[in-house]
């Protein structure tokens, strides 16, 4: 099974959750460690994100990585959150050189 990430949908989901939680774009961007411009590009589907950014978004919004990516908590991809958490633990919760960035197509 092939899973194609829809960055526009993912961005819209992030924006909706951010607004529901009451975060301005500037405040939320600071909390997840990106610029406001990058967050805007992410929310409109122009940019992808690193595993580190995905992990930070899920932590601040209190949702699973699965939900951010698929829109479902009970998806076939429920291991995504655990994998992301393991990767972030492995890099000691800090972005490192060489971290792959998933770019929007």
Domain membership of residue 96 (yes or no) is no
Distance CA 24, CA 27 (A): 5
Mean pLDDT rounded to a whole number for the chain: 82
In a domain, 76, yes or no: yes
Q: Which domain holds residue 31?
A: 7-90
CB atoms inside a 10 Å sphere around CB 2? 3
Give a yes or no: residue 95 inside a domain. Answer: no
Give 44-95 pLDDT, tens digit per residue. 999 999 999 999 999 999 999 889 998 887 655 556 666 766 776 766 555 5
């Amino acid at each position: 099974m092939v899973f194609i990430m829809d960055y526009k949908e993912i961005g819209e989901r992030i924006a909706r959750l951010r607004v529901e939680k009451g975060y301005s774009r500037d405040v939320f961007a600071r909390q997840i460690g990106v610029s406001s411009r990058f967050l805007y590009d992410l929310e409109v589907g122009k940019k992808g994100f690193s595993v580190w950014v995905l992990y930070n978004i899920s932590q601040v919004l209190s949702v699973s990585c699965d939900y951010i990516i698929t829109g479902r908590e009970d998806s076939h991809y429920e291991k995504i959150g655990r994998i992301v958490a393991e990767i972030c633990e492995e890099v000691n919760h800090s972005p490192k050189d060489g971290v792959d960035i998933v770019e929007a197509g």
